Amino acid sequence: MIDLDYFNESLESFECSKNRFKVLVVDDLADNINILKGILQEQYDVLVAKNGKLALSIIANQQPDLVLLDVMMPEMNGYQVCEAIKRDPATCHIPVIFITAMTSIEDEQEGFEVGAVDFITKPITPLTTLARVANHLALSQQDQRNRLIIEQRTAQLREALYSAVKMLSEAGTYNDEMTGSHMWRMADYCAVLARSLGWSEQDVENIHLAAPMHDTGKIGIPDNILKAPRKLTPEEWDIMKQHPVIGADILGNSKAPLFKMAAEVSLGHHEKWDGSGYPSGLKGEEIPLTARIVAIADVFDALTMERPYKTAWTVEEAYQYLQDNAGKQFDPKLVAAFISQDDQIRAVKAEWQERG
């Protein structure tokens, strides 16, 4: 669940936070520092540093709103300081204005390349300095506000997405609380396996959300078949085997990558490596990788989950089942990759046990 209040409070806090801005002046000459401090101190809280290393320490600890930075300094010049500021995700948003006597195009180009937003040329004049500082503070504040708004709206969209996924995931198993926990626990196992294969974090997140929707199609199966307390007849079993197709039809109507992946998972999660699965009898790598991942995680969790009609298998017993059926039901390479993540698999299981 996403904490939307956090983003709302962050935006409100930002709107009310700025009474006086902090400006850091960095120069190795005391006279230059005093001139700039005299110009700025009536409107801003002025911090000072006489070298690059001290400047970076102040920036890390006090987060000034803007930096006025001399270019020519011993040990660490202004370009190097600016590069360090822009390299750090915690400080890269802080605007840097160079104070310099150098006026060549090459000097300006180097300054902009390392991340500066402007140059003030010596000799320093109060009007130019105050105008440049005020303009760049205003731009920076608007940029930060825009980023907070984007984060807030992204969080709102993500919360809506999670809600949609949850509803679709539970559609076919709405009356089975244990199945609900199984779906999300199984999704965690899918994420572990996908990450071990070198997937990007976006793709890992997608399969984590797509996996719980694998049985969405069960919403289209009559209750007398879905909840039958007996072995299904051949005719009923033919109907049951349509739930992957139904799920893929429901989920495949979206152009969003997440739901395209979910449709792929729904259609393929009952296919088997040796071609004996359903609904299409796909074999080997004809089965989408996403569906092969979900098939392993789904069975592993079902085996290690206690149910009213069975005791939970141990992790070792479940691993043995996967190995015994590698090359038949499961992709053998994925089985090996899954078992190789034993520490993380057990950590997921332990975390869910703590949740009760």
φ/ψ bin of 327: left (φ > 0), alpha (ψ from -120 to 50), beta (otherwise): left
Distance CA 183, CA 69 (A): 55
* Terminal alpha carbon distance of the chain: 18
Give 47-52's long-range contacts (Cβ < 8 A, gap of 24+).
47/22, 47/23, 48/24, 49/24, 49/25, 50/26, 51/26, 51/75, 51/76, 52/26, 52/76, 52/77, 52/78, 52/80, 52/81, 52/84
3-state class of 117 per DSSP?
A: coil
Helix (H) or strand (E) holding 26: strand 22-26
Helix (H) or strand (E) holding 45: strand 45-49
Length of the chain: 356
Q: Is 156 exposed, middle or buried (0-12, 13-18, 19+ CB in 10 A)?
A: middle
Taking alpha carbons only, the member of 155, 273, 173, 159 closest to residue 209 is: 159
Q: Please give the mean pLDDT across all residues of the chain.
A: 89
The pLDDT value given to residue 172: 58
The pLDDT value given to residue 133: 96
Strands 66-70 and 118-121 come out as unpaired
In this structure, how many other beta carbons lie within 10 angstroms of the beta carbon of residue 268?
24
Q: Where in the chain is the domain with CATH 1.10.3210.10?
A: 174-355
Sign of CA dihedral 76, 80, 86, 87: negative
Band (255; pLDDT cuts 50, 70, 90): confident
Residues 290, 210 contacting (CB under 8 angstroms): yes
pLDDT in tens, 277-319: 999 999 999 999 999 999 999 999 999 998 777 899 999 999 9
Q: Is the pLDDT confidence value at 234 over 50?
A: yes
Mean pLDDT highest for which of 16-20, 99-103, 191-195?
191-195
pLDDT in tens, 329-342: 999 999 999 999 99
| CATH code of the domain made up of 174-355 | 1.10.3210.10
The pLDDT value given to residue 153: 77
Distance CA 315, CA 303 (A): 9
Which one is the CATH code of 14-146: 1.10.620.20, 3.40.50.2300, 3.40.1390.10, 3.90.1010.10? 3.40.50.2300
Distance CA 120, CA 88 (A): 24
Radius of gyration of the chain (CA): 30
pTM for this entry: 0.62
Distance CA 76, CA 40 (A): 25
**Interhelix angle for 332-340 vs 289-304, to 10°?**
60
Q: Which of 102-106, 245-249, 321-325 has the lowest mean pLDDT?
A: 102-106
Q: Is the pLDDT confidence value at 219 over 70?
A: yes
Q: Where in the chain is the domain with CATH 3.40.50.2300?
A: 14-146
